[in-house]
Chain A
């Protein structure tokens, strides 16, 4: 089975940097995804890590440590529009689906 943990809520101010952590315990591992979901909308893909290390994509970066079962999503130069839920999802090997964490609701204030 899969167990994925992330904080329920976080707050930050515009222009700041925030790190959203995700820990997982899984019976197999074939990659970790981060999705962003604004209220009332579909989840949209942000990043994917399958090897250890940092993946950078503009203001967003994601880090993975497979030995520690740990990932984080780093958001820089926060904007009001970054207020959303951030979902960590793990994929097992073979034909399988994503198992999502319960999401971290990020509120960015002026």
Chain B
């Protein structure tokens, strides 16, 4: 199936631990994103990568480190997890061109992170 996929779907961990979330898209898109959706359902951009290069970093603590090994993958590593990191993290992708038409973002199923 063509889609944006994320693993794991659920992640429960203790404060202070380090964890990673993986994202893959097989839509052939060149841009990928990480969003955080908090308990009030507010969806906020964290990072954006275009062709493996970071183009947007929205004031996210440096405990969060995205990595894009190739343009189909964007992983998110989180160090020293805190209670406030509990949220649903969504990966998304789109086909973008500088100055070109705006294209739709397609979202993965989300990873629900619970920090105890």
Contacts and interface: CB of A to CB of B under 8 A. Distances in A.
B110 A97 contact: no
B63 interface: no
Interface in A58-110: 85, 87, 91, 94-100, 102-103, 105
Contacts, number: 52
Please classify how large the interface on chain B is, using the bins under 10, 10 to 19, 20 to 34, 35 or more: 20 to 34
Nearest to B56: A97
Nearest to A95: B55
B102 A50 contact: yes
Given A42-B90, A43-B90, A102-B42, A97 B106 contact: no
Instruction: Give the residue among A31, A42, A98 with the most B Cβ atoms within 10 A.
Output: A42
A69 B20 CA distance: 39
B104 A41 contact: no
A95 B102 CA distance: 9
Interface in B82-116: 90, 96, 98-99, 102, 104-110
A31 to B, nearest CB: 5
Given A43-B43, A99-B45, A100-B44, A91 B108 contact: no
Contacts of B102: 30-31, 48, 50, 91
Given A43-B90, A97-B45, A97-B56, A102 B40 contact: yes
Contacts of B48: 95, 97
Contacts of A99: 45
Contacts of B44: 100
A33 B43 contact: no
Interface in B31-46: 33, 40-45
Interface of A: 30-31, 33, 37, 41-45, 48, 50, 85, 87, 91, 94-100, 102-103, 105
Please give me the 5 A-B residue pairs with the lowest Cβ-Cβ distance, nearest first: A42-B107, A97-B45, A100-B43, A31-B102, A45-B104
